[in-house]
Structure formats: C-alpha cells, structure tokens
Amino acid sequence: MFSFCADPDALGTFRWFSCYLTNGVHMSFYLSFVKVLVLLAVTAPVALSFGFAGAMAARSHVFPVSWLGKGYIAIVRGVPDIAFFLFFVIALDQGFEWMRHQILCPDWDAPIRQGNDFLVCSNAKLPLGSAPQWVHQTYSFFLAVITFSIVFGAFAANVLYGGMRAVPHAQLETAEAYGMSRRQTFWRVLVPQMWVYALPGLSNLWLVLIKATPLLFLLGIEDIVYWARELGGTKTSRFTDYPHPDWRMWYFLFLLVFYLGFTRVSEIVLEKLMVRLSHGQATTGGEALRKQVTA
Amino acid sequence: MKNCIQTIQDYGLRSIGIGERRLPTSDFTLCEQFTLIGSGMMWNIYFGIMALVTGFLLATALAVGKSSKNRYIRKPAQWFIFLFRGSPLFIQFFFAYFLFLSLKKTNPMFDAFTSAWLGALIVLFLNTAAYSGEIFYGALRSIPKGDVEAADAYGLSGWARFRRVIWPTMLRLAWPAYTNEAIFLFQATTLVFFSAFPAWRQEGDALYYASYFADKTFNPFIPYPILAFYFILFTLFIVWMFGRINTRLNRHLPQAQKKKLRLRLNLAR
C-alpha cells in the first residue's frame, strides 16, 4: 500500500503494522465486514416481510392458512437456530436444483438420490459448473440470505403477531362501527397502531440478528470469522513477508469489540426511534412524554 | 430389531467415548442416526444443566451488584452484563478458545481449558450469568414497594430481608423470563463444537453428529428432523420442570392470583 512497504524486515514497529494491516489479504478481511453489513441490510427487510406475512396468516380466519402461520411461528422456537441454518442451506440448494431438474431435463430417468449422492443433470446444476467464481460466491451468499430470512422471519412473525394482538380491541370495534370492512380495519387501523407495540420486540430481534451474523461462517461464506481465523494463524517467513506468531486471539478480540460497538450504537438509535414513535400514543411511554411537555 | 439393539449398545454412549470407536461410514440406518444423535444430546444436557446451575449463583450476585448504590460494585456488574450480552456467543467461544490456547503455552495448568468440557462450559457459564443477571435485575426493580416496607415493619433488614423477602419475590417475578433463558441456553449449547473447540476423537454433541450424517449422505431431511425431535422433547421437559418450580414459588398466593406459567417464548438472545 505504502511506498516504504517494499522491504518489511527493515521497518520499525509502527510502520510494520501500517504495512501489515493494509496488505492484500487484509483488504479481503475489511471487505468481509461489508458482507456482514450487506447481509443485515438485505435480511432485515426481507425477514420483516416474511414475518408480516406469517403474522397475517396466523390471524387468518381460514383454518389451513392460520395453521400454516402458527406452525411457521412455532417450529423455529423449539429447535436451535443453527440447526435450521445448516438444514436450509442444503435443503434450499437441493430444492432449487430439483425444480430445475424437473423443468430442464424431463427425459432423465436415473434416480436423483443414488446412495449418498444427489445427482441432477448438468444443466440443472446451480450455479452451472462453467460459471465463474463470483457467481458461486454470490449464489452461496444468496442462499445464506434466504436462510437467515426464513429463520428470523419466524421470530418477527411472533413479535408482529403479539403486536397485532396488543392493539386495544376498542379501536377495532370503533373502526367496525364506522362501517369499515375487515380489510380496511386491518390496513387503516390495526397496522398503523401495532408498530409501537411491536417495536420493543423488533429492536430486540435486530440485536439478535446482529449477533447471529457470525453464523455466516457455518454456511460456508468467507466472512469475518473465516478471515480472522485465516489471518490470525501463525505465519512463517517462508510464506509471507509479514511473519507473526498465533494472533487469532487478538483478531477475535477485535471482532468482539466490533460487535459490542455495533450493538451499542443500535441500542442508542432504537431508543431514539422508540421515543419518536411513542409520541401521542396511549402507552406508558407516550404518557411520560406528555408529562415532560406539560411540566 | 436385533441389529438396532446392537447399534444402541455400540453407539449409545459413543459421545462420551464408550463403545465402538469407529463411526459408521456408509449405509446409515435410521437406528444409527437416532442412536448417535441421541448420544450426542448428553453433551447438550451436560452443558445446559451445568451452566444453568453455576450461572444462577453468579446471576443473582450480578443482579444485586447492578442495583447496588455503590458505583464500584455497580459499574463492574454493568460492564460484565454488557460485555456478554452485547457480543455474539459464537465470537465469545472463539476468543475464549484462543485465549486459553495462548495461556496454555505459558502455563500447562491451562491444559484442560482448551477442551470443550471445561473451556466451553466456562464461556456458557459467564454468558448465561450475564443474561439471567439482567433478567433478575429487571425483576429486582419491579418488586412491589409494599413487600419491602412490610419486611422493614417486621424488623427484617440486611441479609435476612434479602433472603426471606427480596430474593424469593425476585425469583417469582423473573421465573417466566428465566424459563425462556434456560431454553435458549440449551439451544446455544449446539454452538460449542461448531466454534473452535475440537470434538476430541469425534466425541461431539447432537448437532455435531447430525451434520456428520448430513455431510456424508448429502441428505439433510433425515438427521436434522431427528435432532429437532430430540430438542423439542427436551424443551418440553424444561417447560414442565420450570412450571413445577413456578407453582412452588407461587404457592403462598391466593388461588385466584396463581398464574400458570404461560409460556410465550420471546427471543432474548
């Protein structure tokens, strides 16, 4: 990166570190932080919409639909989330390939599961065997996003379902008295009001989602955990210009600090958001705000 | 059927190193998968119960510390809770493992800490202490003022007041949330062998064996549902157990006020 980095052996401590921390592999390490942020930015809205759909389904008056919604909420509860992560990554991949196989190769007659193998025709492979490296990486990242969304969608559905039930019933009766249909009541009265009840749960969920991002490592993504392990390991002068002993502890300490900072910032922002949403609401938070103004 | 009994004898205690040394490598039967994953559950139960019991004591201390008026007691408790609640357990496992690894180089006393049974247990202990500490702290703050005043009126103070009035009330108020924490702690134990801690001689937990089968057969639709079955079973057991304790904690209340433990699982981690 810097011009003086040509011969690392001759450098002082400070300059050595400035060269070491800006070399090529470290750039990949920093890029993996971006991956985490992208994952969060994509997963959060998708999971929220999954959750909204789940909560709507659970409220439905049609029994199969409400069972589906309640089942979706319930199933993710009793089972560890990493089990779901490990399961969905393979299951989704095989599901996609199976569907493509049915469409693209209708005259294939060999069974797909042969003993310990899962074989689809080469056209149905995802991504195609000939695809460049970045397509493979994007595809596995895409699978990870869907997996995260399904699991956290169930949590969000639980929170939103609770929020919908917390809206005072009188509000809904009033809407009915005004002659609104069920659909109108839902969209015009229930949905605008439920957010303030759901927000504590949702902000908790956001913090949980942040803390779940290192699990990307288990899904085979080259994320921050992968690079911290990789870069921290002992390096001898035979393989690199920057030999160092086992520093993995320090790399993980850095990750720990990163997550602590991220959590703290999120907490502060969410607290502000809660204050804003509580304005004029008939909740204890809203009442406290009113008193502040009048006092 | 006969084969299955043989399999259970071979692999039933495999996860703690008793029985057949070699794991099955091909043509897995359903029985083998059930037995090995079930055998791995022993690790999850071990971690869960040990961390919960030891963590309970520290959690009480942390809750009292966090509500202390003395800032030299309050601040460390606050920081401890923030440190363990604000960072991912997965990263905590990694950090602790590499920390123990480098401590081991300076002092062979730390040898045992790099193996899962002790090292991971310590992390889980500290982690659950922080989470339950926060729950207990919340409960401490919502103890009805009248209860404490009544204790004062009876001439109870200091340790006696804490032991006989404040602590039982705190537990009673915190119990539903604490049940939730116990369930999530139990689920979090599956992370141990997926972070840095090595599964020595392939003696791992339930998820370790489930993913072993899924990797070998490339078929996730059998081992993971088996794992889910075991976990749901054990979750129900925890709910039942904590429900019993809840009834006991609330036994003095008039019948109408007695609330059954209504389980509304909230994600607390």
Q: Which residue of B has its CA nearest to A84?
A: B224
Mean pLDDT of chain A: 83
pLDDT in tens, A169-186: 898 999 999 999 988 999
CATH number at residue B50: 1.10.3720.10
Q: What are phi and psi of A223, to 5 degrees?
A: -100, -165
Shortest alpha-carbon distance between residue B69 and chain A (Å): 24
Residues ≥6 apart with Cβ < 8 Å to B157: none
Residue B243 lies inside a defined structural domain of this protein = yes
Report, as an integer, the average pLDDT of A245-251. 86
Across the interface, whether the CB atoms of A116 and B26 are under 8 A apart is answered yes
Report, as an integer, the average pLDDT of B53-67. 94
Respond yes or no on whether ipTM tops 0.90: no
Report, as an integer, the average pLDDT of A149-168. 89
Asked if residue B129 lies in contact with residue B58, where contact means CB atoms within 8 angstroms, the answer is: yes
pLDDT value at position A283? 67
Tell whether A83 lies on the interface with B, counting CB pairs under 8 A: yes
Residue B145 lies inside a defined structural domain of this protein = yes
Report, as an integer, the average pLDDT of B213-233. 88
For A24-28, the CB contacts below 8 A with 24+ separation are A25/A227, A25/A230, A25/A231, A26/A231, A28/A222, A28/A227
The answer, yes or no, to whether residue A227 has pLDDT greater than 90, is: no
Least confident of A136-150, B6-20, B46-60, B227-241: B6-20
Report, as an integer, the average pLDDT of B95-115. 87
3-state helix, strand, coil in chain A (%, to 5): 75, 0, 20
* Contact residues, chain B to chain A, C-beta under 8 Å: 26, 82-83, 86-92, 94-95, 98-99, 101-102, 183, 187-188, 190-191, 194, 207, 210-211, 214, 216-221, 224, 227-228, 231-232, 235-236, 264-269
pLDDT value at position A180? 93
The answer, yes or no, to whether residue A126 has pLDDT greater than 80, is: no
Confidence of residue B2 (pLDDT cuts 50, 70, 90): low
CA A198 to each of CA A254, A264, A265, A289: distance values in angstroms, whole numbers, following the listed order: 33, 20, 20, 19
Shortest alpha-carbon distance between residue A225 and chain B (Å): 8
Instruction: Tell me the chain A residues in contact with residue B194 when contact means C-beta distances shorter than 8 Å.
Output: 82, 218
The percentage of chain A sitting over the pLDDT mark of 70, rounded to a whole number, equals 91
Mean pLDDT of chain B: 87
The answer, yes or no, to whether residue B89 has pLDDT greater than 60, is: yes
Task: Enter the tokens of residue B169.
Answer: 């009330």
- Give the amino acid at A213: T
* Residues belonging to chain A: 295
CA A58 to each of CA A43, A67, A74, B260: distance values in angstroms, whole numbers, following the listed order: 22, 7, 11, 24
Instruction: Tell me the chain B residues in contact with residue A228 when contact means C-beta distances shorter than 8 Å.
Output: 94
Nearest Cα neighbor of A159 from A54, A71, A86, A18 is A54
Among A residues 231-250, those touching chain B with beta carbons less than 8 Å apart? 232, 246, 248-249
Report, as an integer, the average pLDDT of B203-223. 87
Instruction: For A121-149, give the DSSP string.
Output: -GGG-SS-TTS-HHHHHHHHHHHHHHHHH
Across the interface, whether the CB atoms of B98 and A155 are under 8 A apart is answered no
Residue position matching structure tokens 């749901």: B232
Residue B266 lies inside a defined structural domain of this protein = no
The answer, yes or no, to whether residue A2 has pLDDT greater than 60, is: yes
Residue B27 lies inside a defined structural domain of this protein = no
pLDDT value at position A295? 63
Shortest alpha-carbon distance between residue A129 and chain B (Å): 18
Least confident of A108-122, B155-169, B203-217: A108-122
Residue position matching structure tokens 């089968």: B213
> Virtual CA dihedral for B111, B116, B122, B124, nearest 10 degrees?
170
Task: Enter the tokens of residue A16.
Answer: 């050595």
pLDDT value at position B134? 92
Report, as an integer, the average pLDDT of B113-118. 86
Report, as an integer, the average pLDDT of A98-123. 73
Across the interface, whether the CB atoms of B228 and A252 are under 8 A apart is answered no
Asked if residue A104 lies in contact with residue A123, where contact means CB atoms within 8 angstroms, the answer is: yes
Nearest Cα neighbor of A160 from A119, A199, A121, A207 is A199
- Give the amino acid at A55: A
CA distance A136 to B57: 49
The answer, yes or no, to whether residue B44 has pLDDT greater than 60, is: yes
CA B148 to each of CA A249, B88, B157: distance values in angstroms, whole numbers, following the listed order: 47, 37, 10
Residue B25 lies inside a defined structural domain of this protein = no
Asked if residue B100 lies in contact with residue B114, where contact means CB atoms within 8 angstroms, the answer is: yes
- Give the amino acid at A227: W
pLDDT value at position B124? 95
Residue B5 lies inside a defined structural domain of this protein = no
Shortest alpha-carbon distance between residue B100 and chain A (Å): 9
- Between A92 and A125, the more confident residue is A92
Confidence of residue A17 (pLDDT cuts 50, 70, 90): confident
Number of domains in chain B: 1
For chain A, list the domains and their CATH numbers: 3-294 (1.10.3720.10)
The percentage of chain B sitting over the pLDDT mark of 70, rounded to a whole number, equals 94
pLDDT in tens, A45-64: 999 999 999 999 988 888 88
CB pairs < 8 Å spanning A and B? 121
Residue B268 lies inside a defined structural domain of this protein = no
pLDDT in tens, B25-40: 777 888 888 888 999 9
Residue B158 lies inside a defined structural domain of this protein = yes
Cα R_g (chain B), whole angstroms: 22
- The CA-based diameter of chain A, rounded to the nearest angstrom, is 83
